[in-house]
């Protein structure tokens, strides 16, 4: 009850603050929120877009949350995402097996390589005491430029574009992709307007992988000794060491799992949505948004799930204010930022609410 | 309070009537990842739509893309908003526009800087620019203004559109001065201004005193470098003189705004050349050099340029747009 009240107040004040910012820039907040609400839920295809958009955020959020439980701040989610996307795009293009082999193989490779990439930061922390915040920020840029280098490499670069070649259709995890554009599929769908709309965006299996990942991470943290040890390291590394836990090893392992999760986000994004990777001028922000997701979700697996959907919906519908009300995207970003800011700091409401509750109980 | 609400109601009723009386044409555009304030073709496109809004009374809106993955959903947002014509700005949006056009065969689409060639769907119109013609004039001016006999070209990516700038510019420079040295480099980006600055500085240290860029927002850095080192720069797409009024001697303008305005004007008359690609050039006022040029260069040179313009518009000079045509062109210069 109390927790619910916190969250509710946080979201409410976030929305109010966002409204203030909209008002200040001369946009009617009521109209804006109406556009956002309709833009998020009024059509089946919007919901599908939100699911697509939320999938990577859930996974990167989970990645940050998991590392955080071991006391590590995984800023490197962005880079691990890029490595996962690159691996999926590359092997999805090079290999061409039966989908039943191809998809698991490419996914496994992406997760494996990005977990090594994440693990590198953990290893450097454990072995040499390099702070993971510093190393992962650096690794983000290394990943970005390495990815750009690979996109432009001969054989992988799609000529006359700034993107890589498309992955083979056997790598695609978009649901019923061929059927959707076939004659029979289009016929069937035109008789089912709801599904027709719902299926129009490239809805993909990534969300299922995300749900499975959330469950597995929850299982690890809640039900295994391994998870218990990780949490012990997170709460107090010294106490954990005294208790006979190999702290260094746990840190590396934790970062490996975190890296794998972010990599999975990148892989599902490539295999389900973009089908190739492009030259990046700057970070796309999937990983950084993951930090916000993790914070909103109070660093728990199921929290990341809900927060991922929340942020995905906010980002998707927030953009719609632009064409509807001519809001500049900076205002939209500030508004979304303000909402996240308030949600991420429930602590400001904790004291006053506790006081109110105490007075209530005395009565 | 009561009076206010009565007036409010009246206004609502009146406005809904006028709405019904002449339903304005709605035109929307989706920017590529450069955003609507990219000081370049996205911004120019939006200026074109705003001009249409003012002069033709249409309703205009835009939707910015943050990532490549946004194109599809942004196109759909504008589709749902009931636009009569939806613009995709930039060749990066080609795949998304094609997909949307197939999904909504009754919706009109147009794309800037891309041609689907023979495969253009009947509800899509491609809009291309003879950018080489503007770049040719810019190259001519750059070579004439250079004192070190060395000028620079910075391109965003090695793609055909940028090639048309590059070879047009080089051809113009050679036309002005056969012995001119043209330094060329790609920044592999359209957004990284810091990189543009670094490349421009490098070129300046190699003796270049005029730098031209065809690289979107990368060019902000290029112009900044020219400003700091007190060298000359040539802008692209829009009149970029305001970025460095003493340094930007001219800009090879791609009047995306004029092209968009023309297409929207046609649309209002009920004409839409779907299924084709239209090439806009110097003749149509869709490419040109910046109006501020006349303040920056000597009068004699300006007259030369005007003469060149006429020759190009008449087809007496065929400006090369790729490497092959350029090689042929260079041989014709004495």
Whether residue B194 sits in one domain with residue B309: yes
pLDDT band at B16 (very low <50, low <70, confident <90, very high): very low
- pLDDT band, very low/low/confident/very high, at B22 (cuts 50, 70, 90): low
pLDDT at B1 over 80: no
Question: Residue A86's pLDDT is what?
Answer: 96
Q: How far is CA A68 from CA A63, A115, A236, A330, B168, in A?
A: 9, 16, 13, 30, 55
Cα-flanking dihedrals φ and ψ of residue B140, to 5°? -60, -45
Could you give the number of structural domains in chain B? Answer: 2
Chain B positions in Cβ-Cβ contact with residue A161 (cut-off 8 Å):
159
For B35-46, what is each residue's pLDDT tens digit? 888 777 899 899
| Among A49, A282, A329, beta carbon nearest to B191 | A282
Domains of chain A, with CATH numbers?
56-308 (1.10.3470)
**B163 and B78 in a common domain:** no
What residues in A contact B76, CB-CB < 8 Å? 45, 49, 200-201
The whole-number pLDDT of residue B5 equals 58
Hey, is the C-beta of A333 within 8 angstroms of any chain B C-beta? no
CB contact under 8 A, A273 and B69: yes
Instruction: For residue B9, tell me if it sits in a domain.
Output: no
B175-198 pLDDT, tens digit per residue, is 999 999 999 999 988 888 899 999
pLDDT: is A80 or A298 the higher one?
A80
Distance CA A35, CA A92 (A): 39
DSSP A175-220: TTHHHHHSHHHHHHHHT-HHHHHHHSS--BTHHHHHHHHHHHHHHH
Cα dist from B257 to A190, A328, A339, B52, B61, whole Å:
38, 20, 37, 9, 14
Give the residue-averaged pLDDT of A132-146.
94
CB contact under 8 A, B159 and A161: yes
Looking at the DSSP bridge assignments, the partners of residue B248 are B233
Q: How many CB pairs under 8 A join A and B?
A: 68
Q: Which of residues 121-180 of A touch B (CB under 8 A)?
A: 148, 152, 160-163
Instruction: State whether B322 and B186 are in the same domain.
Output: yes
**Same domain flag for B94 and B145:** no
Contact B61 A162 (CB under 8 A): no
Report for A164-173, A253-262, B315-324: range of highest mean pLDDT:
A253-262
**Structure confidence by residue, pLDDT tens digits, A295-309:** 888 889 998 999 899
Q: Give ipTM to 2 decimals.
A: 0.78
On whether both B106 and B176 belong to a single domain, the answer is no
Same domain as B313, residue B174:
yes
CB of B130 closer than 8 Å to CB of B280: yes
pLDDT of residue B125: 94
Give me the percent of chain B exceeding a pLDDT of 70. Answer: 93
Full residue range of the structural domain in which residue B163 is found: 131-253+298-332
Q: Cβ B190–A281 below 8 Å, yes or no?
A: yes
Asked if the structure places residue B290 within a domain, the reply is no
- Which residue in chain A is spatially nearest to B91 when comparing CA positions? A161
pTM confidence score: 0.79
Which pLDDT value is given to residue A1? Answer: 60
- List chain A residues with CB under 8 Å of B113: none
In terms of CA atoms, which chain A residue is nearest residue B37? A328
Q: How far is CA B216 from CA A323, B161, B210, in A?
A: 23, 12, 18
Is residue B236 domain-shared with residue B305, that is, in the same domain?
yes
Q: Do B63 and A279 lie within an 8 Å CB cutoff?
A: no
Percent of chain A with pLDDT over 70: 97
**Poorest-confidence range of A5-9, B57-61, B282-286, B288-292?**
A5-9
Q: Do B64 and A326 touch (CB under 8 A)?
A: no
Do B60 and B88 fall within a single domain? yes
Is the model's pLDDT at B154 over the cut of 90?
yes
What mean pLDDT do residues B168-181 have?
93
Q: Is pLDDT larger for residue B5 or for residue B56?
A: B56
Position B7 in a domain: no
Does the structure show a pLDDT above 60 at B15?
A: no
Q: Establish if B85 belongs to a structural domain.
A: yes
Question: Looking at beta carbons, which residues of chain A come within 8 Å of B28?
Answer: 323
Residue B292 lies in a domain: no
| Burial environment of residue B324 by CB neighbours within 10 A (0 to 12, 13 to 18, 19 or more) | exposed
Rounded to the nearest angstrom, the minimum Cα separation between A316 and chain B is 9
User: Which backbone phi and psi does A310 adopt, to 5 degrees?
Assistant: -60, -50
A contact residues 200-259, partner B, Cβ 8 Å cutoff: 200-202
CATH code of the domain containing B46: 3.40.50.2300
Q: Is residue B170 part of a domain?
A: yes
Q: Is the dihedral of CA B196, A152, A122, A289 positive or negative?
A: positive
Q: Which residues of B touch A (CB under 8 A)?
A: 28, 33, 35-36, 61-64, 66-70, 72-74, 76-78, 80-81, 92, 102-103, 157, 159-160, 188-192
Together in a domain, B163 and B64: no
Nearest CA in chain A to B102: A181
- Does residue B108 share a domain with residue B44? yes
Across chain A, mean pLDDT equals 89
pLDDT, residue B8, reads 53
Residues B144 and B115 in one domain: no
Residues B279 and B326 in one domain: no
Task: Say if A39 is an interface residue toward chain B (CB within 8 Å).
Answer: yes
For the residues A99-111, what does the mean pLDDT come to?
Answer: 94
């Amino acid at each position: 009850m109390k927790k619910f009240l916190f969250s509710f107040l946080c979201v409410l004040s976030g929305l109010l603050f966002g409204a203030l910012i909209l008002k200040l820039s001369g946009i009617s907040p009521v109209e804006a929120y109406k556009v956002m609400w309709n833009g998020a839920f009024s059509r089946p295809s919007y919901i599908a877009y939100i699911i697509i958009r939320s999938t990577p955020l859930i996974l990167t959020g989970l990645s940050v949350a998991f590392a955080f439980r071991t006391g590590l701040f995984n800023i490197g989610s962005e880079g691990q995402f890029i490595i996962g996307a690159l691996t999926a795009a590359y092997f999805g293009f090079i290999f061409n097996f039966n989908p039943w082999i191809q998809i698991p193989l490419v996914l496994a490779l992406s997760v494996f390589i990005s977990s090594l990439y994440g693990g590198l930061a953990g290893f450097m922390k454990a072995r040499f005491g390099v702070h993971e915040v510093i190393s992962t920020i650096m690794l983000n840029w290394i990943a970005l430029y390495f990815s750009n280098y690979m996109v432009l490499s001969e054989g992988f670069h799609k000529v006359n574009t700034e993107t890589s070649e498309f992955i083979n259709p056997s790598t695609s995890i978009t649901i019923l992709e061929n059927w959707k554009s076939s004659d029979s599929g289009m016929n069937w769908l035109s008789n089912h307007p709801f599904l027709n709309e719902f299926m129009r965006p490239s809805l993909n299996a990534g969300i299922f992988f995300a749900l499975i990942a959330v469950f597995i991470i929850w299982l690890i943290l809640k039900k295994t000794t391994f998870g218990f040890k990780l949490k012990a390291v997170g709460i107090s590394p010294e106490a954990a060491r005294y208790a006979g836990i190999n702290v260094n090893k746990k840190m590396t392992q934790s970062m490996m799992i975190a890296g794998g999760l972010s990599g999975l986000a990148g892989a599902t994004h490539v295999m389900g949505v973009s089908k190739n990777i492009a030259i990046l001028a700057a970070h796309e922000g999937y990983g950084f948004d993951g930090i916000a997701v993790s914070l909103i979700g109070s660093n728990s697996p199921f929290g990341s799930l809900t927060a991922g959907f929340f942020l995905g919906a906010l980002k998707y519908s927030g953009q719609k204010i632009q064409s509807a009300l001519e809001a500049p995207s900076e205002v939209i970003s500030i508004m979304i930022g303000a909402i996240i800011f308030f949600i991420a700091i429930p602590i400001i409401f904790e004291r006053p609410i506790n006081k109110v509750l105490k007075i209530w109980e005395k009565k | 309070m009561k009076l206010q609400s009565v007036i409010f109601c009246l206004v609502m009723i009146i406005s809904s009537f006028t709405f019904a009386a002449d339903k304005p044409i709605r035109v929307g555009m989706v920017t590529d990842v450069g955003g609507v304030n990219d000081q370049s073709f996205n911004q120019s496109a939006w200026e074109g739509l705003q001009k249409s809004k003012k002069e033709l009374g249409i309703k205009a809106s835009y939707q910015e893309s943050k990532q490549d993955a946004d194109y599809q959903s942004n196109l759909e947002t504008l589709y749902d908003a009931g636009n009569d014509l939806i613009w995709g700005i930039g060749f990066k949006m080609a795949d998304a526009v094609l997909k949307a056009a197939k999904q909504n065969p009754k919706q009109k689409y147009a794309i800037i800087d891309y041609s689907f060639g023979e495969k253009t769907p009947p509800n899509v119109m491609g809009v291309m620019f003879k950018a080489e013609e503007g770049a040719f004039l810019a190259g001519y001016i750059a070579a004439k203004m250079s004192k070190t006999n060395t000028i620079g070209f910075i391109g965003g990516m090695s793609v055909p559109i940028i090639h048309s700038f590059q070879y047009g510019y080089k051809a113009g420079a050679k036309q002005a001065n056969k012995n001119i040295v043209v330094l060329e480099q790609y920044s592999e980006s359209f957004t990284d201004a810091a990189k543009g600055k670094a490349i421009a500085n490098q070129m300046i240290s190699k003796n270049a005193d005029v730098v031209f860029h065809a690289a979107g927002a990368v060019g902000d850095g290029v112009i900044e470098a020219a400003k700091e080192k007190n060298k000359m720069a040539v802008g692209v797409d829009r009149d970029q003189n305001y970025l460095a009024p003493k340094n930007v001697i001219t800009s090879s303008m791609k009047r995306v705004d004029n092209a968009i305005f023309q297409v929207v004007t046609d649309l209002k008359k009920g004409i839409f050349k779907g299924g084709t690609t239209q090439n806009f050039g110097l003749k149509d006022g869709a490419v040109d050099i910046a109006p501020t040029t006349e303040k920056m260069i000597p009068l004699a040179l300006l007259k030369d340029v005007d003469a060149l313009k006429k020759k190009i518009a008449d087809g007496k000079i065929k400006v090369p747009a790729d490497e092959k045509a350029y090689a042929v062109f260079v041989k014709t210069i004495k």
